[in-house]
Amino acid sequence: MPIPPALLTPDLSALTDGIYPQPLRQTLAGQTSQFITSTPPALASPQPQASPVPVVEKAKRLAAWTAVDRHVLPEHKVIGIGSGSTVPFVVERIVSQGKAVNKDRVFIPTGFQSKELIVNAKLLLGDVDQYPVIDVTIDGADEVDHDLNAIKGGGACHLREKVLAEAADTFVIVADYRKNSEVLGTNWTQGVPIEVAPFAYAKVLQNLHLIGSPKATLRMAKAKAGPVVSDNGNFIIDAPFPREMMQDPYTLLTRIKMLTGVVEVGLFCHMAKAAYFGNEDGSVLIKWHDGKTEHVDSSASPKLSQNDEISATNG
């Protein structure tokens, strides 16, 4: 029997009961109508939006730029570059001084991070072995007290950082407003970073517990199993001390440094000439080693680009 033409190319809009029963015809026609008439919902095109730069990052940049403008002068030829989240802005500002002035300069890193910053900025890389006297070193800090004593070592670079700070004619700290305090240990509560020889860490821990830090612990790595290892191949201990001991950081530094197995202590006492703190409102607070302070109003601070202008609602 020949196949009805309607079965070969069905016209669902003109179905007859002879070919399809009424219920089936209605079902097919309804489904076909749905497919024909329905249109996919319009998808809204994603509109790219620039993420606002957090206030803290802008504060770091202001501190770094102001310090570079005042302390990295054309006559400075050997410059120490520290470690931490504020230091990229230091390198950024130095690069902006131009190739002509930077071509005769040598930059000494405190660790892997600052070495990469120097190399990526196409600045001349040097070593403290070659240049034991540095014109100026600019570095970050985990916390700075009213006398410019500082806690450093959150990034496990404080041995090399202290070498470059001591080698510099001028040592300058740059940070954001959160790092500014009256007494060390107020904001930075993780403890004093202490670099130790790996085979001596257990004995050092025991001695730290005895001299006033019962919660001293070996710093463990987050991206690998085991402890953090410094660029020098050593372990790091974080040792919190009570406030009364932190009020005299130099005495505490001396006591810790005398423990056998301690390589270096993340207390930087009487070393900085100035500390620059970027504030939320776009101003910069400068603390000097002689106890004087200076407030650089936002109108006098280095100008950020329009996209980087500080807003109290960001961050």
Q: Is 227 left (phi over 0), alpha (psi -120 to 50) or beta?
A: beta
Q: Which amino acid is at 125?
A: L
The secondary element (H helix, E strand) that includes residue 265 is: strand 262-265
Per the residue annotation, which of 57, 143, 161, 195 is the catalytic one? 161
11-38: buried (b, 16+ CB within 10 Å) or exposed (e) per residue?
eeeebeeeebeeeebeeeeeeeeeeeee
**Residue from 146, 175, 147, 185 nearest 82 by CA:** 175
- C-alpha distances in Å from residue 53, one per residue of 24, 50, 277: 63, 9, 18
Decide if 147 contacts 109 (C-beta within 8 A): no
Active site residue 161: yes
Distance CA 221, CA 215 (A): 18
User: In sequence order, what are the residues at sequence separation of 6 or more whose Cβ sits closer than 8 angstroms to the Cβ of residue 312?
Assistant: 55, 280, 281
CA 195 → CA 94, 145, 153, 185, distances in Å?
30, 22, 9, 18
Of 114, 113, 109, the C-alpha closest to 167 is 109
User: Quick check: helix, strand or coil at residue 36?
Assistant: helix
Report how far residue 160's alpha carbon sits from residue 169's, in angstroms, rounded to the nearest whole number. 16
Q: Give the amino acid at 255.
A: R
Alpha carbons 143 and 183: distance in angstroms, whole number:
9
In angstroms, the CA 290 to CA 287 distance is 8
Residues designated as active site = 161
